[in-house]
Chains A and B, each alone.
Chain A
Amino acid sequence: MHELTLAAEVISLAEEEMKKAAATALREMEIEIGEGSCVDRDVFEFTLSLALKEAGRGNVTLCLSVVPGGTDILIKSMLVD
């Protein structure tokens, strides 16, 4: 459930940032998952890639990493055209 909610949030934030940057294509996203969050990395990766495809953003490379000591889930960077 979390993963679905968070995937939608990630896409919403990514679209906002792409608009700001006048970008047309999203190539890659780097996301850090705090180990204390209840987010499963593999489930999140799967859910997010499906949600991206549904949003018309297929072929996005996802780089998800789990970091110690926290609950934050951060979008570190995006590679756009």
Chain B
Amino acid sequence: MCETCGCGEHDELTIRKVGQEDALKKDGLESQKQETDHDKAHRLGLPHHHHEEAQSRRIVLEKDVLYHNNLVAAKNRGFLEAKGILCLNLVSSPGSGKTTLLEKTIQILTSKRKVFVIEGDQQSELDAARVAKAGAEAVQINTGTGCHLDASMVERALKILNPPEGSIVFIENVGNLVCPSLFDLGEYRRVLIISTTEGEDKPLKYPYMFRSSHLCVINKTDLLPHIRLDMGALKSNIHHIHPDIDTIQLSALTGEGFPKWVEWISRFTVK
């Protein structure tokens, strides 16, 4: 490995069969790992970079590549806080029941305050139509090939929605448990929704999303009698990854567990 920058190795990639930790070595496959020109230069000690020249200067930055996104997110957060608007970012894998949860939540909350929804999907306006029918004003963002929403998309959507003081804005992110965890949108709280059909091991497979969320809603509890799920193990895995995260079990279909969810939201709404 290069002592200067640590690059040039493929040690970040692990291909391992369960129970056979050294499978690559035993099979002699290690040497078959792809080697880039850059790696080759490191291995052979060729002078390929780190060639500081007399006139060159090194600027030490330590700057987040998502610096601009984070700036816009801070701007969104400032706008929302100034107007006393509660903004929740709903994240999950596809099919966990985010939209059904939103429909029911909107029906309950609209009698108390105005509800707005920013819908994120790669294509179609299906979800925006559903939440609008439930009683919320909605904007659909189609990300095309993009797999997440970013802060500037939310900024534009907020300008279109123009939510009034004291309202609630839900952001339904693109269904994906990886990429949306990277992007701060300016929300007040991030709510992760998983369904009982996803198994106990999701938190261990996608730890960064669990770690960056404030609440984990376990949806589709109405299916529990019909599936094999160890709820204790699921909760244990969730808290192993994020010890302080709140969890709520509910069924968006039957409404079971909804009072706890509504109570959780009302903790943050401006009186």
Which residues in A have some Cβ–Cβ distance to B below 8 Å? 1-2, 5-6, 9-10, 12-13, 17, 21, 23, 27-28, 30-31, 35-38, 41-42, 45, 61, 63-67, 71-81
Would A27 and B53 count as touching, CB distance under 8 A? yes
Contact residues of B between 142 and 158, Cβ < 8 Å to A: 145-147, 150
B57 at the interface (CB under 8 A from A): yes
Residues of B near A23 (CB, < 8 A) are: 57, 59
Would A13 and B67 count as touching, CB distance under 8 A? yes
- Give the interface SS of chain B, mostly helix, strand, loop or mixed: loop
Closest to B150 in A: A5
Which residues in B have some Cβ–Cβ distance to A below 8 Å? 2, 4-7, 12, 36, 38, 48-53, 55-69, 145-147, 150, 178-179, 181-182, 207-208, 212
Known contacts A27-B53, A63-B5, A66-B12; A77/B181 CB under 8 A:
no
**Contacts A23-B57, A42-B36, A71-B182 known; 14 new A-B pairs at CB < 8 A:** A1-B146, A6-B65, A9-B65, A10-B65, A13-B61, A13-B68, A21-B59, A23-B59, A36-B208, A63-B4, A64-B5, A71-B212, A74-B61, A79-B57
Would A72 and B64 count as touching, CB distance under 8 A? yes
Would A27 and B56 count as touching, CB distance under 8 A? yes
Residues of A near B2 (CB, < 8 A) are: 63
> What is the CB-to-nearest-CB distance from A8 to chain B, in angstroms, rounded to a whole number?
10
From A30, A71, A78, A79, contact of B181 by CB (8 A): A71
Known contacts A36-B207, A38-B179; A65/B6 CB under 8 A:
yes
Would A76 and B36 count as touching, CB distance under 8 A? no
Residues of B near A38 (CB, < 8 A) are: 147, 178-179, 182
A2 to B6, alpha carbons, bound, how many Å? 23
Known contacts A74-B63, A75-B65; A80/B56 CB under 8 A:
yes
Known contacts A38-B178, A63-B7; A75/B63 CB under 8 A:
yes
